[in-house]
Amino acid sequence: MVQGPWVGKPNQSQKNLEPGRNLSHFPEVRLSHLSPGDGPEPHPGEDGVHTINFACTPPSLARGPQHPQPRRPLFSLEVYGSDAFHKLPGPCTVPADSHVFVEAALARPSPNQGLSLRLCFVSPSSDPARHSPFLVLRRGCPAEPSVTFFSASPGAPYRARLSFRLRPLFNASVQFLHCQLGLCYQGTAPHGPHQPPPV
């Protein structure tokens, strides 16, 4: 992309514009053969110059008015094998019928924002769109008798912790926890709903 200011003569289409209408640019580019053999030899009396006329639209007119888009909140979801919530290298390994400890948090915490867990389920599939009968949370409430919530720290409303028992419901060595998270606002929430998909 090349940007002006440009100096040149209007082409034929530009000459036919309505009176009083202004154009910001009249660009003209000249291409010439730099060495013999790069193209046909010019005829006698010709300078070997080819002219291409084109019109440029200022970027501000091409894109139209720009409106700032609200920043989408970013969440993190971690799974642990103990209530110490200590991250170990590699995937979390939990024996069947033992407890899984979950921590969800806002990646960009703000003083007027909190976090809510709306839906959680365990599935042998990594696709959160596939249905699973192993519901952990539904509408923010426990859907599994073994669910236990941990008290939120007063200084960390952007974090939520819970645990549940990993029942041997699926005959799969690898299982996935999918959760849908939401934002809670103190005061007036910004315009536009925040309905993030399951992660």
132 or 14, higher pLDDT: 132
DSSP structural state of residue 109: -
**Domains in the chain, ordered, with CATH?**
12-63 (no CATH), 75-185 (2.60.40.4100)
For 194, the 3-state DSSP assignment is: coil
* Range 98-116 average pLDDT: 87
62: left (phi > 0), else alpha (psi -120 to 50), else beta? Answer: alpha
2 CB neighbour count, 10 Å cutoff: 7
What mean pLDDT, rounded, does the chain reach? 73
Q: Is the dihedral of CA 119, 167, 149, 124 positive or negative?
A: negative
Residue 136 token pair: 């952990």
At residue 13 the predicted structure's pLDDT band, cuts being 50, 70 and 90, is very low
